Every structure is written in structure tokens, then in C-alpha cells.
Structure 1
Amino acid sequence: MVFLVAGAGGFIGFHLSKALLARGGKVIGIDNLNDYYSPLLKQARCEQLKQYQYFSFYHGDITDQAAIEQIVQEHSDIKFIFNLAAQAGVRYSLENPFAYIQTNVMGQVSILEMARRLPKLQRIFYASSSSVYGLNKKLPFSETDRVDRPSSVYAASKQSAELLSFTYNHLYGLKQTGLRFFTVYGPWGRPDMAYYLFAKAIIADKPITLYTGQNLSRDFTYISDVIDALLSLLDSATLEDYGIFNIGNSCQEKVESLVICLEENLGKKAVINYVERPETDIEATLSDINAIYKATGWTPKTKLSDGIRQFVDWFQNLGGRLLL
């Protein structure tokens, strides 16, 4: 079975590609390996994937029509697309909003137009985000909640991608499944995320920044649970032609609990500076995962304490060196 993984050099794309290859699949990966965070980490992920016989890699941007055309011509037998390519980061969207429209909106259109030309394609899975819930206050977040009040350009770009996917399903019958990820973490993770930044700072005896607020919390979701969720959706025979699922741990953890887990595993105390939470950041997230459970039977298995322990093991052995 042939898969296209857009964003194969990214955190989730890398782990998903490994899982698909381990199952005997053929994976076509594309990634522009941009410098939003260290390209060394992205390149190291790709080097891991290139050890598999049935992995092919294209260094290119999903908005580059020449790169897309080459993939269509050389791999017309693609059956599933996982579009995990994205410009990530909530706060960076204040600095460079154009990057989010280019990758998350134009990139989605590019993948959708590509999909129309693949005769054997069965379904597109695409990355969305818990950020689309924006200014909602009700917890847990459910797929039936309104998502028309984004609090950042990043969130708006992800909601735009969802709307485009719905339109292409309506117009052209492309079967699609959206994936609203909730704070994914773990080995080989993104170094711009809090758990990674905190680990680096604690090791270096530098202060970390925490936001003030009574309910500053996240639904931390371990990477292996995320991959199990994606595979369960891939294997499901009952998915509707179009749908969206929360992919979360369904467990609300205070960010201070994350810091405590890191301190325990690193053997060092954090120096903490408290600042006011910026308007772009949601105060709390929590996923309602009843929909994916009903569709596939999937439930997450990893507690935050166990996931952070595994992350720190990797970070101390390899992750920190990749970012020196």
C-alpha cells in the first residue's frame, strides 16, 4: 500500500512514516525542511527514514507545483495521503502571518488539487489543531463545538484548511478525515514547544517562563498514542466520507505539573519567571474523544509522567545534541 506523507521530516510525520513502513507500506515523503526550528533535527529524522527500503523522499514544498507534479507523475498509485505539513506555532503567527496562509491554507489547496489527480486515492487525512477551538470556554472541547472565533492567525489558518477540505469533499467527493491534535509531545519532538524549551533551560540552569492564571493547563498527548490513533482511523471500515476527530489524551494537566515531571526526571529544579498569558494562547485545553472511540475503539494509554520520562531519556541521549 502506498502512502504520501507531507511533512515527513516533522515530528508527527516522522513517527507516522516509521509506523507505516514497519507495517510493510511504501511511503513517499515530502518536506521543505524549513528553518522554523533546527533543520538538523528534521534532517536527522529523515536520515532515520531513509534506512527503510520503501521510503522515498522529496525535498520540496507542498505549494511548489513542480514538486507536486513530479510526485503525481512518479507515484500515481498513492492510496492514502497524510497531510501533516504545516507552519506550526501560535505566537510566531503574530510575527509572520504570511507563512501560515502560505503553508496551512495554500498548502492545503495544493494537496487537495493533487488528490483529484490520483486515480487510486482512497482518503486524505490532514492535520488540524486544538487551537481551532479558540475563545471557547466550555471544556472538554468537542468536535460539535463552534470554531468560528480563533484567537490567533495559526488557529484561523487551521480552521480555513478544515473548511477547504469540507468544500472539496462536497464538490469532488474526496474522502477526508481531519485530525485536531492536542499538544503532542515525546521523543524527536518539536524544540519550540514548552516541554522541550523547559528541559533545555533546566539543564542549562536558565529560567523558564510560565504564564499566570488559575487554570493554565493542557491536554498533553504522547506521540505513540497519536500514532495509534492515526492507524486506528486508517484501518477503520466505518469512517464517513468526511469527518473530524479530536486526537487527545482527554486528561487536563496543569503546566506546573509538566515542570514537576521534568524536574524529577532531569534531577534539577527549575527557575521560574511568571508573566501574564498572551491573548494568542488558550488558557486551557481538554479533548472530548468519544467520537474517535466510537469510530475505532481507540483510547490513549500514556500518562504524562511516563511520557516525560521517555522524552527525557531521549533528550539526554540524543535530542539535546541535535540542537547544539
Structure 2
Amino acid sequence: MPKRVLIVTKRADLHADIVSAKLAAAGGNPFRLNLDEFPKHFALNLEFARGRWEGELVHLPTGEALSVSDIGAVWMRKKASFNFLSADLSPQERAYAEGEMEHMLFSLLYSLDCYWMSHPAALRGASWKGEQLLRAARLGFHVPPSLVTNRRGGVDAFRAKMDGDIVFKSLSTPTLAAEQVALEERIAGTLPTTRITDEHEEALDAVVELPSFFQQHVPKRYELRVTVIGDRVFAARIDSQEDPRTETDFRDFSAEIRYAAERLPPDIERRCLELVHSYGLNYGAIDLIVTPGGEYVFLENNPVGQFLFIEQLVPELDMTGAMAACLTEGARARERAP
């Protein structure tokens, strides 16, 4: 029986849409588990017997079934809140239901012997930005001086030590957790990486509320988004200094700056692969700065980062095709396993 690829995501996920189509075109048979439809639109029936879990997951609207024994690869693509049959659960009922579903889902996933893009435990371990800086430095990357503090005096002292400006950035999410609350409860949008200037003097007093993250501002010639898929490395040059709106944070897509494929020096490509693989990951989206002096500076690695926007801007970087091929080969390798 050919092994199948399980894609764990949510309904609105264009990455999963495109990769699923490429998997199907290559003769694969992906199964998509949208967590924002789970368990409402799915039936789960598992039994522990003969020393293993057996059973299946069925998508009720279509009747498509996935046997646990047929899963050869899993792509952990996107998180989402569970969706239950009853819409009027009390807060306690919903909290209990979510806890139970999380236990059941991850009990199943952790029991699978398959190819991972990437394993939940590896994703969790790779998500801490502060630890990433230490690991990147050990691999030979230059890492900017950084500070975590909830004292205004700490910020002032750090600024005084830096020969130039500093930047503030969020560690968990630049959306200020807006996606975690109802639309009517949102009070702010995104918070990009921000270069601290005199106009932020009063705002800096707010660091007493919670520890905040600051780094030395690094001059840029250009930026790089380096995407690792399996053993392949895709590098895109981002000419962020062409527009004032993207000088500090390139993620202002209203600015029409240039993106182009970039060939990395062999030692930088090797470090990127080593960094991602050191976590047990098969995927990573790494942000680097190239300084006017040609130095490569590590900023962060997102273990589930977006890559489609890069492919759309630089079509020669066929990352959706690489993702489909990697998952297909990973699943087929499980067919050949004894």
C-alpha cells in the first residue's frame, strides 16, 4: 500500500493548497487535516492493539479515510483552534474539550513512525529566538549584541554602549497576538521591527510592563531569506534599502523592492543547513543581513515560516515543488523500510 502524506493545517492556507495539488499531480494522495474543522467534520476511531495504535481518520463531508498505518509523512504546516459540533459550549466545557483534543491529536502524531516536516517536539524546541542566537553564534554566524530587560535604565545603558541605534522586535509574534482574540477584541495591528529614536523616549517607559527584546541596529547592504527544505537551500536577496519603508523591516509589502535568487557562499549555506538540522528539523526560514562590509549576520530562524511569497516574487525558486518532492520521497522511503 503506497504511503500517504498527512498535512496538518487550517482551511485558509494557500501553501497547503498548492503543495497538495503538486503532490496529487506527482501521483501522491495527500490527506488534509484542517484543525479549524476538527473534530466537527472528522471521525476519529483508534484502537491500541498488538502493541500499536490502529484505526483511521475520516473526513465526513467527503468520506475520505486515512488509515494510521498508511501515513508515511507528516507536514506540520499551521496551527488553528479546534472546532466542535456544539457551538454553545461553556468556557469550562470548551477548555476541557480543547485539552482532550490536544491530548488525542498529539498522542496520535507522536506515535507515528514517519518522515516529518517537522516533528512537533523539534518545532517546539526550535521556536525560542533567544536560544537561536546562542546556537547560531556557536555555528560561526555573527549575532548582534542583544538585550532583554524590563527596566528603563537597562535600555538606556544598552543604547549608550552601542555605537549607533538599537531596534526593538517582538519575539513571539509581530501581530501582537491579534490572531488569538476575537476580531472585535483586537486593539492593535502588527508591530514591525522598530528602530529606536528620540521619538520613542516616552514609549520606552512601557518596558516595565514586561521584559522586552532589543538588538544593536545593523547597517544593511541587503537582506536574505534563506529557506531550507530537506537538504536543499533556497536563498532570496531582498534589496530592502531601496525604500525607506523597508529599511528596518522588509515586511512592508506596499513597497516595491527587488527580490532575486542569490547564491550563498558555501560556508554560509553549510551553516544554514547545520542550524536547521541541529534541531531535528527538515524545514527552516532563516533571516540574514548582509552588511556593507560583506558580513553575514544572523537574525532568526522560523521553523514554520512562510515561503510562498518568496516563490511568487522569485519564481525560479520552486519551493512548493521542492516541498512536494521532499514529502513524497519521505513517504516512499517508509514504504521501503523493513
What interval of TM-score do these two structures reach, taking the shorter chain for normalisation?
0.3 to 0.5
Structure of higher CA gyration radius: 2
Q: TM-score, normalised by structure 2?
A: 0.34
TM-score (norm: length of structure 1): 0.35
Instruction: Compare the two structures and name the one with the higher strand fraction.
Output: 2
Q: Which has the higher helix share?
A: 1
